[in-house]
């Protein structure tokens, strides 16, 4: 082994994060010999995940690639973050012919504090043990309501949850005693029930009626709606049950005869053309109030 090889081998032991990104999966970089290039990427990842890391501490693991079927290779790669007990895991596996099903072992990495999943299939695992997870991102995930429920039950200290354009959710429930921030981007017309006593910030984005029920969420201070139909009296009733609400942001929403009555509200942002909002009535009691009304022509 050359001197350079020995030094390079030592450098591997100093790397706390691994980030694998197959850039050839980008459309503008696709080539006629893409299959050969893809095999080169597979070989590179295989080599990197071998013995040089046997005695190292890896805290972050990130993988972005495409899935062409056959789980053996992906299963082997994901044994690495499981064995290393990483703290942050970011997996973006774009489906082509089918979706890659997340191994159950990933949801039992007790050291995880941040987990980002994109493009995967998440089945209903009976056991989820993410004891220290604080932040969870679910983007373009195929899962049902029970899978989401079981996942949240296994995250007793979860503080931030981001759900964006997930398949298969019909009546999802978000039940959490620790959750402080929730961002939910609805894909269809699913009705979401949120029961989170410590929730401070909520963003809801939909493509139709605002199908969200808040149960015991009186601690909310920041509330945002995007691309949602705000109906009366449903929206008014929702606002009236948030006594600590300080900031309300309505972006590209639509509706009519909307009343906003809140004694603590300090900031109201009406942005990006409130489509079809024919009547808006404000009844506010706070001395210091900021109103921003943005128009798009």
| Domain 12-169 listed as CATH 3.30.70 | no
Give the residue from 166, 102, 155 showing the smallest Cα distance to 133: 155
pLDDT at position 94 is 92
Contact 212, 185 (CB under 8 A): no
Cα atoms in the Cβ-side hemisphere of radius 13 Å centred on 206? 18
Query: What CA–CA distance (Å, rounded) separates 256 from 217?
Result: 25
Q: What is the pTM of this model?
A: 0.88
Q: Provide the token pair at 259.
A: 């009343």
Contact 134, 115 (CB under 8 A): no
pLDDT along the chain (297 residues), means of 10: 56 80 60 65 86 75 90 94 96 92 96 98 91 98 96 98 95 97 91 96 87 93 91 84 92 78 82 57 54 49
Query: What CA–CA distance (Å, rounded) separates 81 from 89?
Result: 8
pLDDT at position 295 is 45
pLDDT at position 13 is 66
pLDDT at position 32 is 46
Contact 188, 164 (CB under 8 A): no
- What pairs with residue 205 in β-bridges? 185, 226
11 exposure class (CB count in 10 Å sphere: 0-12, 13-18, 19+): exposed
279 exposure class (CB count in 10 Å sphere: 0-12, 13-18, 19+): exposed
* Cα 169 from chain centroid (whole Å): 14
Contact 242, 222 (CB under 8 A): no
Chain position carrying tokens 């201070």: 221
Domain boundaries, the chain: 12-169, 188-297
Rounded to whole angstroms, what are the CA distances from 86 to 16, 56, 81, 115? 10, 11, 6, 10
Q: Residues 78, 80, 86, 89: what is their CA dihedral angle, to the nearest 10 degrees?
A: -30
154 exposure class (CB count in 10 Å sphere: 0-12, 13-18, 19+): middle
pLDDT at position 28 is 44
Contact 264, 287 (CB under 8 A): no
pLDDT at position 38 is 78
Contact 207, 183 (CB under 8 A): no
- What pairs with residue 88 in β-bridges? 60, 114
Give the residue from 88, 91, 103, 102 showing the smallest Cα distance to 133: 88
Query: Left, alpha or beta for 34 (phi > 0: left; psi -120 to 50: alpha)?
Result: alpha
pLDDT at position 108 is 96
pLDDT at position 276 is 54
pLDDT at position 87 is 98
């Amino acid at each position: 082994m050359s001197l350079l090889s020995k030094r390079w081998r030592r450098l591997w032991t100093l790397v706390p994060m691994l980030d694998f990104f197959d850039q050839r999966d980008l459309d503008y970089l696709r080539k006629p010999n893409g299959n050969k290039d893809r095999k080169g990427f597979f070989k590179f990842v295989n080599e990197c995940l071998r013995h040089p890391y046997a005695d190292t501490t890896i805290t972050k693991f990130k993988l972005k690639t495409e899935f062409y079927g056959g789980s053996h290779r992906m299963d082997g790669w994901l044994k690495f973050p499981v064995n290393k007990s990483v703290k942050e895991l970011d997996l973006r596996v774009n489906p082509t012919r089918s979706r890659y099903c997340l191994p159950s072992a990933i949801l039992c990495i007790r050291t995880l504090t941040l987990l980002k999943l994109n493009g995967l299939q998440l089945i209903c695992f009976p056991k989820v043990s993410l004891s220290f997870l604080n932040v969870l991102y679910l983007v373009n995930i195929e899962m049902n309501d029970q899978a989401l429920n079981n996942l949240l039950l296994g995250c007793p200290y979860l503080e931030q949850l981001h759900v964006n354009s997930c398949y298969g959710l019909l009546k999802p429930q978000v039940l959490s005693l620790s959750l402080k921030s929730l961002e939910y981007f609805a894909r269809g017309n699913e009705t979401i029930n949120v029961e989170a006593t410590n929730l401070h910030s909520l963003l809801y984005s939909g493509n139709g009626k605002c199908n969200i029920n808040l149960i015991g969420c009186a601690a909310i201070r920041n509330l945002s709606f995007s691309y949602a139909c705000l109906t009366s009296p449903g929206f008014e009733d929702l606002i009236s049950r948030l006594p600590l609400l300080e900031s309300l942001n309505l972006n590209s929403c639509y509706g009519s005869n909307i009343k906003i009555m809140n004694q603590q509200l300090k900031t109201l942002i009406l942005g990006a053309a409130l489509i079809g909002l024919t009547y808006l009535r404000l009844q506010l009691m706070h001395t210091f109030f900021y109103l921003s009304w943005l128009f798009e022509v």
